Structure 1
């Protein structure tokens, strides 16, 4: 598929998605959402991708929704249906993708852009990055899962502050709050993201998928329920060729080839 609003590359089992509307600070449009929907579906079944990086072209990560492209002629019900479609097609698949996703935030992550980054598994930020829940500035409620995701990351009281005030959070404060995992020099952002992604891509894809799924579920389940899920996941992991490869590599004092083992197991 040829993309108009995205760039996509796969190297060494790492898929890199670049939001590519730099003249509009990568603001989202229906076309971008459609292309993300198709790309995420492809990545989900691509056996050659074990980890994903999501970043932005130019000086911003994502400025949120492109207000110039808004549809003013929609009824409230039509607008709700459109929004629910975006959540189902983009937010849920990104959050639940059974491959770790790193947001490499290269500049401003505003509104929906902030929440798209939160839907990733963790964030590496340029020292020039900033984060704004800008919805209150235009009389809107945070969307793209922000009301769910932000409180999980920084706690409900701090989430309320950022949503009500719509103030800018710079990279170092974002790290202090727990929004960002690492802050790096701007010119080293993708290098750092790729180094982290490489270490993840070298791990067992089956174990990574199950670990991500269970961690995403953990805060909504009781300990009893989580332990039951864990028992099933651990049993499955013991039965994978990746586990056999890991044990064999440990005995032979070498680096395991988990991707190769997984590929052999599919034959």
Structure 2
């Protein structure tokens, strides 16, 4: 079966091949720099996912996954048709909050329980690029990967949903140091600290992601969905609450396997 292209606009392409969807950032000439238009396209890609999709792969064309926010955002004019940072800062607080919330939608849907999302990360993953990789459940990285959170050095904060997964993966102290210094995190540290599930040579990145997607599809879908929900909620539950959640999930699985719902 050949891939079906469902979206191709504003630097984002969505293709679907059976149970695997691929979201590709398609502006390698600008190292897949991000803009509000790209964020809206990413949010639209999430809305257009067919129900048959179980694994979503996120990748960037060219030498870099994403070098972060397009530098045009830092000019007084900003992007055509969009409020500039200066205009946002001078406008009503509720309008600024609503606009940032809209931008965050591009980074939120990757965590849905009905899919497992995998970022294939090579080269630069800076700022918004780092946060986009963090939005995914899993990260497979090339040996040349360079993560960095540069927002603080620009007088801003990481606001595209990246702070929670970063702290969850590497701990508060390391997350603070990474964000406050804006330094690079390279492949060895990314793998050692849990940012990367797997690090491979750049020419093996696509193959490693394909193999991981196949492994994720091997288990029954509902079992994966239930397991993801259990793990995702574990950090905010007490042990007794987690035990109860496990019992309830297992009960649903056993009833399903026994055909009790038929």
Question: After TM superposition, is the score higher than 0.5?
Answer: yes
Contact 1:94 1:120 in 2 (8 A): yes
Distance in 1 separating the partners of 2:217 and 2:258? 18
Identify the residue that residue 211 of structure 2 maps to in structure 1. Answer: 195
Partner of 1:185: 201
Count of residue correspondences: 242
1:85 aligns with 2:90: no
Q: Post-superposition shift, 1:233? A: 1.2
State the distance in 2 between where 1:187 and 1:180 align.
17
- How far 1:118 moved relative to its partner? 1.3
SS state at 2:8 partner:
coil
Cα distance in structure 1, aligned partners of 2:205 and 2:258? 35
Classify the secondary structure of the residue corresponding to 2:96.
helix
Distance 1:123 1:140, change over 3 A: same
- Counterpart position of 1:238: 254
TM-score (norm: length of structure 2):
0.86
Aligned-residue offset at 1:115 = 1.4
What per-residue deviation string (whole Å, max 9, x for no partner) do you get for residues 165-207 of structure 1?
Answer: 0001111121112111111010110110011101112221111
Structure 1 residues 166 and 175: CA distance shift in structure 2, 3 A: same
Post-superposition CA distance 1:87-112 (Å, at most 9, x none) = 2x223322234211111102211112
Match of 1:209 among 213, 221, 225: 225
Spell out structure 1 runs of 4+ moving beyond 4 A: none
Equivalent position of 2:179 in the other structure: 163
Give the distance between the partners of 1:192 and 1:235, measured in 2 at CA. Answer: 34
Assess, with a 3 A threshold, how the Cα gap between structure 1 residues 36 and 58 changes in structure 2: closer, same or farther. Answer: same
Q: Which residue of 2 aligns with 1:9?
A: 15
Distance 1:68 1:97 in 2: 35
Question: Are the equivalent residues in 2 in contact too, given 1:51–1:101 (CA < 8 A)?
Answer: yes
Contact 1:12–1:198 (CA<8 Å) still a contact in 2? no
1:58 equivalent to 2:75? Answer: no
Equivalent positions of 1:89-238 (< 5 A) are 89-238=105-254
The answer as to whether partners of 2:114 and 2:225 remain within 8 angstroms in 1 is yes
For the 8 Å contact 1:53–1:103, the answer to whether it is kept is yes
**CA–CA distance in structure 1, aligned partners of residues 118 and 127 of structure 2:** 19
Paired with 1:62 and 1:244, the residues of 2 have a C-alpha distance of 47
User: How many Å separate the matches in 2 of 1:107 and 1:244?
Assistant: 48
Q: Following the alignment from structure 1 to structure 2, what is the Cα–Cα distance between the partners of residues 146 and 64?
A: 13
Structure having the larger proportion of residues in helix: 1
Q: List alignment gaps of at least 5 residues for structure 1.
A: 246-264
- Verify the 8 A CA contact 2:65 2:129 in the aligned structure 1: yes
Q: Distance in 2 between matches of 1:183 and 1:24?
A: 25
Answer whether contact 2:110 2:137 (CA < 8 A) is retained.
Answer: no
Corresponding residue of 1:32:
38
